[in-house]
Amino acid sequence: MFEQLKTLPQDPILGLMKTFREDPRSDKVDLGVGVYRDEAGETPIMAAVQAAQQRLLETETTKAYIGPAGAEGFNRLMGQLVLGAEHPALKEQRVNVVQTPGGCGALRMAAEFLKLCKPDATVWVSTPTWANHIPLLGGAGLTIREYPYLDPSSLSVNFDAMVDCLEQAEAGDVVLLHGCCHNPSGADLDADQWTAITDLIERKGLLPFIDIAYQGLGEGLDKDADGVRRLAERLPEVIIASSCSKNFGLYRERTGALMLISATAQQGLAATSQLLSAIRSHYSMPPSHGAAVVEMILDTPELMQQWQGELDAMCSRILELRAALSQALAPAGDFSFIERQRGMFSFLGVSPEQVKILREEFGIYMLDSSRINIAGMSTTTLPRVAEAIADVVGR
C-alpha cells in the first residue's frame, strides 16, 4: 500500500532547522525558525514558567482527562489576556474559549468549525502569510484566496491594494488577519488601518479570523492586542486563534486557545457544542501541562508580574536589535523598515540566491523568502550578520 508514495520535500521552516543543526561551523547563526533566543543564543525556560511548574509538581493531584475544551481556568484567563478583562464581549458572555494543542491546533480547529458553519467557506489570507496557514486551513477543505498585503519594494503594508482586493470578498467570506507581529513580514496594520478594515468587514458582512501568536512581543501585551480588541467590540462574530508558544516560551508543550465570539450568548453555546464535537473527533482533548502552567501564572499575581517583566524584557530586546540592525545596515542601503516593523520577523528583501550565499559562505541561516528571526541575533553576532548582508547586497 505504501509503495506508490513519493517522498515529500522538507517543510521550509522545520527543514532549515535540521540543516542548521547539521552545519558543523561554530560561528553559524540561526535566523530561521521563530524561536526567541536570549543574548547567549539560548531559549531558556522563563523563570515564571519554572516557578509555575514547580508549584504544579507540588500541587497537581491527578492526570485524569480534562475534556475536549481543556481547562476552564486557562480558557477564562486566556480570554481576558487577549481581549482585556473588561471587554464588552466577555461581559455579555459572548466569548467561548477552548484550549488547543498550540496555535496550530487553534487554527486547524477554527477551519474545521468554519467547514461546519459553511461547507464552501472561502478564507482570504494575506500575501505573504505564515507558510503553515495554507496547509492548516486548506487541509480542512476551505477554499483559500489571497489578498495583497505587502508592497515588495518598500516592504511595508500596501493597504490600498489590500482593501481593493477585499472589496471583492462576498458576504460570509472569512478574512484571516494577523493580530500583531505579522509573520513573515513584521509589517503590521496601524490603528487607523484596523478601524478601516473593521469598517470594511462590517459593511460587507465578512467574518474576521484573527491569528495572534506573538502577543507581547511587538510593543507590549495590551498594545499588541489593541486592533483585535477594538474589532471585537464592533463585530458580532469573531474567531481568534492565540498561542502561548512564544510569549510563554512553551513551544514544545503545544499550548494555545481558540476563541469564538458569537452574536448572542445562546448562539455561542450552540457554536461551542459543534466545536467541541469536532475536537473530539480530531484529537479528543488537548495536552494539559502547558495550559496548567499558563493558568498558574495568569492566576497568581506574583507569577503574573514576573512573567510580564520577562516578556517585556524580551520585547525590548527585539526592539533594540531591530534598531541596531537597521543602523548597522545603513551604509549598505535603506533597511530602516526593520526598525519600524514589529515582532520576531522581517524580510531582508534579498533574493533566494543571496540567501543561499549567506547560508553557504557565511553560515547565516534564514528562510529562502529572506525572512529573518530578529531574536535569533545577539549583540555579539549582529555585527557579523550585518557585515555579511552588506557584503552580499554589495556584490
The residues that are catalytic are: 130, 211, 213, 246
Pick from 20, 74, 113, 130 the residue near ligand LMR by CB under 6 A: 130
CA distance 212 to 214: 6
Give the CA count within 13 Å in the CB-facing half-sphere of 28: 17
Specify the residue, 34 or 287, whose C-beta has the smaller distance to ligand LMR: 34
> Is the CB of 13 or the CB of 235 nearer to ligand LMR?
13
Q: Shortest distance, CB of residue 10 to ligand LMR, whole angstroms? A: 12
Closest CB 273 distance from ligand LMR, rounded Å: 30
What sign does the CA torsion over 78, 84, 85, 89 have?
Answer: negative
304 touching ligand LMR, by CB under 6 A: no
Map residues 183-202 to x or -, x wherever contact with ligand LMR holds by CB under 6 A: x-------------------
CA distance 254 to 291: 9
Distance separating alpha carbons of residues 252 and 238, to the nearest angstrom: 28
Classify residue 5 by its DSSP letter: P
Instruction: Draw the binding track, 80-119, toward ligand LMR (x: CB under 6 A; -: no contact).
Output: ----------------------------------------
For 177, the grid coordinates are: 488577519
Q: Is 13 in the site for ligand LMR (CB under 6 A)?
A: yes
CB-CB neighbours of 60 under 10 Å: 13
Q: Which residue, 13 or 285, has its beta carbon nearer to ligand LMR?
A: 13
Q: Measured from the CB of residue 57, what is the shortest distance to ligand LMR in angstroms?
A: 28
Size, binding site for ligand LMR by CB under 6 A? 6
Measured in whole angstroms, the distance separating CA 368 from the mean position of its chain's CA atoms is 20
Pairing of strands 238-243, 207-212: parallel
CA distances 334 to 35, 325, 390, Å, are 26, 11, 11
- Which residue sits closest to ligand LMR, CB atoms considered? 34
Give the number of other CB atoms < 10 A from CB of residue 153.
8
Binds ligand LMR by CB under 6 A, chosen from 53, 132, 215, 369: 132
Residue from 16, 30, 34, 96 binding ligand LMR (CB under 6 A):
34
Q: Does 242 bind ligand LMR (CB under 6 A)?
A: no
Minimum Å distance from CB 269 to ligand LMR? 32
> Under the criterion CB under 6 A, does residue 33 sit at the interface with ligand LMR?
yes
- 24/269 Cα distance (integer angstroms): 54
Measured from the CB atom, is 183 or 370 closer to ligand LMR? 183
Nearer to ligand LMR, 34 or 363 (CB): 34
8 Å CB contact between 335 and 311 = no
| Residue 130 or 194 having the CB closest to ligand LMR | 130
Contact criterion met (CB below 8 Å) for 53 and 312: no
And the C-alpha cell for 181? Answer: 507581529
Binding pattern to ligand LMR, positions 150-189, x when CB under 6 A? ---------------------------------x------
Q: How far is the CB of 246 from ligand LMR (least distance, A)?
A: 8
Site membership for ligand LMR, residue 376 (CB under 6 A): no
Rg of the chain's alpha carbons, rounded to an integer? 21
Instruction: Report the site for ligand LMR in 42-61 (rule: CB under 6 A).
Output: none
Cβ atoms of 95 and 259 within 8 Å: the answer is yes
CB of 366 to ligand LMR, least distance (A): 11
DSSP state of 116: H
What are the DSSP calls for 139-168, one per residue?
TTT-EEEEEE-EETTTTEE-HHHHHHHHTT
Query: Which DSSP letter does residue 203 get?
Result: H
Q: Which is nearer to ligand LMR, 87 or 342 (CB)?
A: 342
Site residues for ligand LMR per CB under 6 A? 13, 33-34, 130, 132, 183
